[in-house]
Structure formats: structure tokens, C-alpha cells
Amino acid sequence: MDFMKPETVLDLNNIRQALVRMEDTIVFNLIERSQFYLSPLVYKSNYVRIPDFDGSFLQWTLLQQERIHSQVRRYEAPDEEPFNPTKLLPSLLPPVNYPKILANYSKEVNVNEEIYQFYVENIVPKISCKEGDQLENLGSVAVSDIECLQSISRRIHFGKFVAEAKFQLDKQLYTKLIKEKDIESIEKSITNSAVEQKILERLVDKSRSYGTDPLMRYSQNPQSKVDPEIIVKLYKEFIIPVTKKVEVEYLLRRLEDTQ
Amino acid sequence: MDFMKPETVLDLNNIRQALVRMEDTIVFNLIERSQFYLSPLVYKSNYVRIPDFDGSFLQWTLLQQERIHSQVRRYEAPDEEPFNPTKLLPSLLPPVNYPKILANYSKEVNVNEEIYQFYVENIVPKISCKEGDQLENLGSVAVSDIECLQSISRRIHFGKFVAEAKFQLDKQLYTKLIKEKDIESIEKSITNSAVEQKILERLVDKSRSYGTDPLMRYSQNPQSKVDPEIIVKLYKEFIIPVTKKVEVEYLLRRLEDTQ
């Protein structure tokens, strides 16, 4: 995506291509996380006592990571939302003068809290290789979790580009639906079941290809590092519906932006 | 690897399995980096002016990252070496009481400077998707570079476990060779050409499988995201010989450790 060229960013074909590429990153990251134990201590509030901090070890590590990344301008990008939007640092790099692509309030549409909770409660238990903690790996686990969280967050918030592109394609329709607060029709208009079905099929293939040692492919029991069904379920039950939620939330406010 | 059980860590079969798994991580990381431009500004000294810091943007970001990771105990692990060993912070977590696996001086065997230089000069130009800079992506590039550097560094320094395992298997032979400073014979004794050949073959397969969208596999021109030849060359000309260098350096000092 070249955010300096808004006309290419709001082309639905380009958006779809970017979303397909993000699947690879998400699958890679989940495979990496699957090497580690469940590690409940990483998610337990104040298990590690850190001065002036109240929260879990993962939350602390994620905050530190985001503070560094905010200094290198990560969250100025229209496709990146932080998990700690109120605790960031000023950038050390000169600002990028992004052309206007999304509505002004776009950064206020942030579902990371929901992503965090779902990830910890529903994804980690399914992909980790074993119950319990491996005390010497708490740091590695947190670092790996952050990669997963960030790639899932980016994928979900990318819905804003889909929403904006669709709005641009039929301003009249959306203006009407938004004024009527007709959430159901908005949801319908942004849903493409054929595309969704294709995503799920592709994910089975990707989880198998990326998660299986290629030398094992023709063996009798080529076990994938993460069960493809888990990744399909994650998309079906969480990533796709929450992306839609982002799109709807974005669209419902779209008339605030008078440009 | 369960570092709490030294007998399993020094089993050559387990070491080999861990090395095979690390190939996946390295291939994944290089594929991720290949999405971005060459980005010379990331590597240019003081392009970004940062108070109290003299170096490139990547060096700064890497230092911040390592400072956080040192607080979560990353570099206490016997298989992790920092790029900034003198600039780390104390850990926030209680120390892990690792049983003794490697010699006491092990942390002094650190070839990260060489890895950094080779990566920036020889790998980045071959895997990046385009010449030049994309100014809004400097942060993403640095973050992706750090993943690549850390995974390559871990792979190379894992040679210490190979070296220690071989020493344990034939103390008499190695004591003799070390006393005679017979580097050539030490190198020969740690080289297994058949295993090396297998690594290279496996890498072609992995680069293709992980770097190609599976839906494209049967198309006429299924382009891999990173040319498999580049990854093979990286292993053949850099990772394998530098791992051996680490093994030799480790072994040459082995008699210092009187355990």
C-alpha cells in the first residue's frame, strides 16, 4: 500500500491484495506462538511486580513496545492502531504528511481492547503447544504475543479502507443508510459472502503450507504446526465479524466528515 | 529446547531439531522484510537526529528493543546474545536459575557485529522489493530488520551447543586439539558435509513453500516472495561458516572451564 497515493489505496482490488498478504503474516505469527506453552503467568495481573505499573506482564511489554514504536511514528500511519493510545511518546522522526485518505475521526475507531481480550482468552489456549508455564520463556511468549496481536489488529482495522472505498463508490446510498441509522442494510452492503468463503478456503491451504515442514508434505501424517481449523475459526468467528464491526462503526460516523 | 534439562539440550538430535525449526523463523522473517524497500536511510548514521545517540536509525531502534528485552530477561538465556551487550538494563523478572550447560565464558563469544554488518550490506539489498526509500515506512523496516537480525543471531550462536555437545562426546580428542591449537582439525571434526547439504536442499523447499501463495503453486509462474537461491546462498556463504566460527571460538577456550 502506498499511502501517498490515495487513489490506489481506495481501490478495492489493492485493498484485497493487502488483506491477502496480511493472512500470511498472521499465519506465520500464530505458528511462531505455537512453539510456546500456554503461559498463564504472562497474562496474570501483577504477577511480575513492576514499579508504577498495574497490569500483566504482557500489558507491560506491549506498552514498552508501543512507546518505542510511537517514537518511530508507527501510529501516525493510517493503518496502525495502538493498544495504548493514551500512553504514547512523541515521534523522533519528522511527521509524514499523509494525504487525506480516511475520515478525520478514523483513529477513534479502535477495537484493540476487544482484540486483546479475545486473543488472550480464545486464541492462546488453542494454539499454544502445552498447558502451564515454562518460566524461562515468559519474555519470549510476550514478544511473540505482541506480533500476533499487532498483525491481527492491523488486519481488522484495515476494514476502514474497505468502508471508505465503498462509501466513495456509492455516496448516495450510504448517506441515506447512515442518516437512517440502518445498521442492518449497511452490514449487508459491505458483506460479500463469496469473498469470505474464499478467504476461509485459502487459510486452510496457507496454514498447511506454511505450518508443515515441506519435507513432510508427502508423509503419512504431515502435521501442521497449528491446526488449520483453528485459524479458519479465528477468521470466521472473530476477524471477519470484528472487521465488519469496524466498517460499520466507521461508516455510521461518516457524515461527520464534511470534506 | 528445555534449558532446565541440560542432558536434553546437549543431545545432538535435539539440537538439530531446534536448528531445523529456526530455519522456518528465518525464512518467515526474510519474507516479511521483502515487502519493504531497500531503505538506505534506515542504515545511515545520524539521518534521524536523536538526542544523546550517535548511529543509524536501525541501531537506535535495536538498542531500545534490546533494553526492553533485557528487562524481560532475554539475554540471560543461554541461546540469546544481544547486539548491545554493554548497554542493557537490569531484569524486572527474578533470575532464572539455569543449570550449567555451556562454559562460563560462553556469553563472551558474540559475533553480532559481524552479523549486523553482513545483514545490512549483503542481505537487505538482495531481499528488499525495490531500490530507494519509502519515507513513511522507515519504522516498519527497522522493526522487520530486527526480527531478521535476532533470528539469524540465535541460529548462529546455537553453534555453542553443538560445540559443547561434541566436546562432551570426545573430551580426549578435543583436549588434544585445543592444546595444540589445531584449528584445522577442530573445524574438520565439527563439519558434517552431508548435514550441510541437506540444510541447503531443505531451504529451497521451505523458501518455495512458505514464500508462495499456496493457490499459486500450480500456476505457470508461482513466484516465491524471496528467491530461494538467495536464502540458500545466505546459509552457504554466511550462516553455516559463521556458525562454525562460533563453534571453533568456543572450543578453543574450552579448557579455561575446569568443571
> Tell me, what's the pLDDT at A114?
98
What ipTM was reported for this prediction? 0.85
- For the residues B53-79, what does the mean pLDDT come to? 93
Angle between helices A159-169 and A138-157 (to 10 degrees): 0
How far apart are alpha carbons B68 and B86 in whole angstroms?
A: 14
CB-defined contacts A:B, below 8 A: 105
- For the residues A19-45, what does the mean pLDDT come to? 95
- For the residues B193-198, what does the mean pLDDT come to? 94
- For the residues B192-217, what does the mean pLDDT come to? 88
Is B154's Cβ below 8 Å from some Cβ in A?
no
CA distance B242 to chain A (A): 25
Residue of B nearest to A202 (CA): B215
For residues B29 and B151, is the Cβ–Cβ distance under 8 A?
A: yes
Q: Which of B70, B79, B75, B100 is nearest to B246 (CA)?
A: B79
Whether the predicted pLDDT of B176 surpasses 80: yes
Specify whether B176 is catalytic.
Answer: no
Minimum mean pLDDT range among A50-64, A205-219, B141-155, B214-228: B214-228
Looking up cell 495504548, which residue turns up? A84
Q: Is A203 helix (H, G, I), strand (E, B) or coil?
A: helix
Specify whether B61 is catalytic.
Answer: no
Mean pLDDT of the residues in chain A: 92
pLDDT category, B225, cuts 50, 70, 90?
confident
Selecting from B93, B134, B210 the residue whose C-beta is nearest the C-beta of A48 gives: B93
> Tell me, what's the pLDDT at B217?
60
Minimum mean pLDDT range among A118-122, B47-51, B147-151: B47-51
> Tell me, what's the pLDDT at B219?
61
Specify whether A202 is catalytic.
Answer: no
Share of residues in chain A with pLDDT > 70 (%): 97
One-letter amino acid for residue B128 of the chain: S
Share of residues in chain A with pLDDT > 90 (%): 79
Share of residues in chain B with pLDDT > 90 (%): 80
For the record, the C-alpha cell of A161 comes out as: 479502507
pLDDT category, B221, cuts 50, 70, 90?
low
How far apart are alpha carbons A62 and A122 in whole angstroms?
A: 19
Minimum mean pLDDT range among A169-183, A191-205, A218-232, B130-144: A218-232
| b/e per residue A178-192 (b: at least 16 CB within 10 A) | beeeeeeebbebbee
- For the residues A80-106, what does the mean pLDDT come to? 93
One-letter amino acid for residue B75 of the chain: Y
Q: Which of chain B's residues have a Cβ under 8 Å away from the Cβ of A231? A: none
CA distance B11 to chain A (A): 19
Minimum mean pLDDT range among A43-47, B72-76, B93-97: B93-97
Instruction: Determine whether the interchain pair A96/B135 forms a contact, defined as Cβ–Cβ distance below 8 Å.
Output: yes
pLDDT category, B6, cuts 50, 70, 90?
confident
Q: Which of A115, A240, A112 is nearest to A187 (CA)?
A: A240
Interface of A with B in 11-50 (CB under 8 A): 20-21, 24-25, 28, 31-32, 35, 48, 50
pLDDT tens track for A185-230: 999 999 999 999 999 999 999 999 898 877 766 666 667 789 999 9
Domains along chain A with CATH numbers: 6-256 (1.10.590.10)
If you count them, how many residues does chain B have?
A: 259
Q: Which of A75-79, A238-242, B48-52: highest mean pLDDT?
A: A238-242
pLDDT category, B2, cuts 50, 70, 90?
confident
Q: How crowded is residue B112: how many other Cβ atoms within 10 Å of its Cβ?
A: 20
pLDDT category, A146, cuts 50, 70, 90?
very high
Whether the predicted pLDDT of B27 surpasses 90: yes
> Tell me, what's the pLDDT at B222?
63
Q: Which of A208, A68, A203 is nearest to A143 (CA)?
A: A68
How far apart are alpha carbons B216 and B234 in whole angstroms?
A: 25
> Tell me, what's the pLDDT at B65?
94
Q: Which of chain A's residues have a Cβ under 8 Å away from the Cβ of B138? A: 72-73, 93
For B181, left (φ over 0), alpha (ψ -120 to 50), or beta?
A: left
How far apart are alpha carbons A65 and A151 in whole angstroms?
A: 14
Whether the predicted pLDDT of A233 surpasses 80: yes
How far apart are alpha carbons B33 and B36 in whole angstroms?
A: 6
How far apart are alpha carbons B104 and B67 in whole angstroms?
A: 23
> Tell me, what's the pLDDT at A218?
60
Looking up cell 478456503, which residue turns up? A201
